[in-house]
Structures are given as C-alpha cells and as structure tokens.
Structure 1
Amino acid sequence: MKLLLASGSPYRKQLLERLELEFSCQAPNIDETPQPGETAKALALRLSEAKAQALAEDYPNYLIIASDQAAQLGQAILGKPGTHHRAIEQLMACSNQAVTFYTGLCLLNTKTGKQQLDCIPFTVHFRQLNRQQVESYIKKEEPLDCAGSFKCEGLGITLFTKMSGDDPNSLTGLPLIRLTDMLLNEGVSII
C-alpha cells in the first residue's frame, strides 16, 4: 500500500525520510483549537486521529500517517508561539521547569478502516534561563512554528539539563519507534 504523511511539517517529513520509505505528503485542513478542559495528551490524540480521518476519503488504499503534538507545563498547554513576544513568554515560563510533550500518532489503513492510535510522552527539563539567553536563542533559531518555542534538533538542545522518554524523535514530532511497530502491524517491512 502507498504511504501518506498527513502533514505539512518539514520536521515530520525529514523524520519519516529516515525510514527510507516512499511516501507523499498532504496537509489536512482541521481546526486545531484545544477544547475546554482538554489535556495535552487528549488534544494530541484527537488531532492525530482527526488529521488521518480528514484525508481518508481522498486517499483510498493508503496507509495514512498522522501526528500531532502538544506540550504541557503544569496545567497549561503550550502551543506554537507564532510571535516573537509569545516565544519569549513561553521560554521564560519554562525556565527551570519540566515540560512534557505528548505526541499523538495515528496510522489509518483506508482500505480496511483499521486504525492504530497511540500517544508517546517525552519530558524535557529546562535550565534556569534569563531573558537575554531566551532573546538570543529566539533570534538565532526563530522557533515560532514549534510547540514550546524551541527546536531540539538545533540550538534548542542547549536549553535543557536533561531529557527523558522512550523515543527522542517524538520530541521533534514523529515517534519513529512506535510508527515502525504500527507499520509492521500492517505488513510494511522497513529493513
């Protein structure tokens, strides 16, 4: 079966390319607004499933890979900052704190209707940051399209004292270890 990555994210595309599988990309058009009282984990799961389902009708006989991520600091969900000012606010709030990123993953077989859905947590522990460090980092990497206002594959790694979780790829937005399991369940051999 053909593979479709339900995403317009260059980060997810780069991650999936590591598996050396042929795939195409299509960004689904869904509302990503959190629902009242929704946790980061529930949001990531709901959006992953919604992204796959949004493209199902247009892509029969495909395995659709969809993923979404939400970060949680205390009880607050950290989304993509969108602006320089909001990125400063997010990173200053994360200073000396632990933030858990929940990455939802859905693999939908549009031929059979079978769906696999999971959420992979990954926690980062931020250093004590001052405003000058935060301003400098944001100026260098411009992480305005990244949940939590950082890019761990770049200088963002310098913001942390430690990281913990089962799959570091989930922090970038696509948990490849769990995705490999799901693809194997569908008979897709990777190696």
Structure 2
Amino acid sequence: MTKSIILASSSRYRREVLQKLHIPFECISPEIDETPLDGESPEHTSLRLAEGKARKVAESQPHALIIGCDQVATVDGLQIGKPGNHENAVKQLTMLSGKEVIFHSALCLYDSSSQYMQSTNVPYFVKFKALTALQIETYLRLEQPYDCAGSAKSEGMGIALLDYMRGDDPNALIGLPVIALVNMLQQAGVDVLSTSRI
C-alpha cells in the first residue's frame, strides 16, 4: 500500500512551501493546545508541538506519512507570536527594531503505520534594521503580515526590514524546513525527485 503524505497544518504558507516539491499531499488541520509548558525551552516547545500535531492527525490516518511543523520565535529569550492585528504588529516591530530574532522551526515526519518518528529543529537567525515609526507603519499598511510571527514576511516586502538572514534553509523561516524534510522522506522510502509530478 502506498502511503499518502499529509501536512498536519492549516498554514497556507507551509502549504505553498511544500508545493515546491511537486509531490502529492493533502492538508489536515490538527486541533491541539499550543500553549508552552512552564519552564519549557523554545526548542522543546516547537518540537513537542510539531510531534503532537503529527500524532493528532495520525489518529484518523493510520497509513500515512504525516508532516508536523511548529515554529517558536524568540528575541532576548522572550517568545513572540503572531500579532493578530495592526496595533500589536506595531508594538512587535518596535520591540524587534535593531534586534536579532531566532526562529526555532521544528519538523517531524511520522509514519503512522509503524509509529516511527523522525524529528529535528532547524534554527534561523534574522536581524532587524533599526526601524523608524514611519517605516513600520508604511510596511504594515502595505503587507499586513498579521498572521506572521515577527510581523514581517521575508518572502515579500518584509525583506526591506532586515539586516541579515542566516541559517541552513531559508524555508525554515517560513515554517517548513524543506531540506530536512526531503532527507526525512528519503529515510521513509520516498525519493522526492522520483515522486514529483511533472
């Protein structure tokens, strides 16, 4: 039996990243509590949630390869989330001005039939420029990145807010480390270059 590939996410950004591989997959949104545990490190939070999302979807998908993802962004040791609205985004970008943000992007691939889990955390480092209030306001009005941790879309105009981006895989910043995923799929018997649809 060929195992289906499922992205355990409702994120349109992750879906768009996975579509780059041209492999057949479907998306199922996991419903889990994403609250960090007391004293939990950002790396552990993101890994625990990525694995939890995959296991949750596995409850209804017993013969699938399930991709779980989660991302926790931190600045000065503080976790930062999605702003949700304009006012919060202004506060967030004002706080991030001139600072480096670490995005902890966790990824797992869970084989629901064998219950074999592969998981990793791929950090990505982003330094924001010193931003003026006018620059922040102009950017937010143009791009409205209210569903993005850090209030910026690096794949869009948000790149103009940044001094640098550093890491092994730029897709990790969007929340789906594709290089690690391709290696995990290979371990699970899926050669992306042989499976991709032309």
- Shorter-chain-normalised TM-score: which range? over 0.9
Contact 1:125 1:160 in 2 (8 A): yes
Correspondence for 2:109: 107
Amino acid across the alignment from 1:149: S
Contact 1:105 1:118 in 2 (8 A): yes
Matches within 5 A, 1:24-173: 24-173=26-175
1:46-70, Cα deviation, whole Å (9 max, x unpaired): 1101100111110011000011111
Structure 1: 4+ residue segments shifted above 3 A: none
1:123-145, Cα deviation, whole Å (9 max, x unpaired): 00110101111111111111111
1:125-178, Cα deviation, whole Å (9 max, x unpaired): 110101111111111111111111111110111111111100000001100000
Distance in 1 between the 2:37 and 2:138 partners? 34
Amino acid across the alignment from 1:36: D
**Relative to structure 2, which stretch is displaced further, 141-150 or 36-45?**
36-45
How much identity, in percent, do the aligned residues show?
44
**Relative to structure 2, which stretch is displaced further, 82-91 or 16-25?**
82-91
Q: How many residues align?
A: 191
Correspondence for 1:179: 181
Distance in 2 between the 1:22 and 1:4 partners? 9
Distance in 2 between the 1:61 and 1:147 partners? 33
Distance in 1 between the 2:77 and 2:4 partners? 39
Contact 1:90 1:149 in 2 (8 A): yes
Contact 1:39 1:77 in 2 (8 A): no
1:5-37, Cα deviation, whole Å (9 max, x unpaired): 001111000000001100000110011112222
Cα offset, 1:42, TM superposition: 1.5
Q: Which runs of 5+ in 1 are unaligned?
A: none
Correspondence for 2:11: 9
Instruction: Classify the secondary structure of the residue corresponding to 2:192.
Output: coil
Instruction: Classify the secondary structure of the residue corresponding to 1:45.
Output: helix
- TM-score for the superposition, normalised by structure 1: 0.98
- TM-score for the superposition, normalised by structure 2: 0.94
Amino acid across the alignment from 1:158: A
Instruction: Classify the secondary structure of the residue corresponding to 1:107.
Output: strand
Instruction: Classify the secondary structure of the residue corresponding to 1:58.
Output: coil
Cα offset, 1:38, TM superposition: 2.2
Distance in 2 between the 1:40 and 1:3 partners? 27
Distance in 1 between the 2:151 and 2:72 partners? 12
Q: Which runs of 5+ in 2 are unaligned?
A: 194-198
Instruction: Classify the secondary structure of the residue corresponding to 1:138.
Output: helix
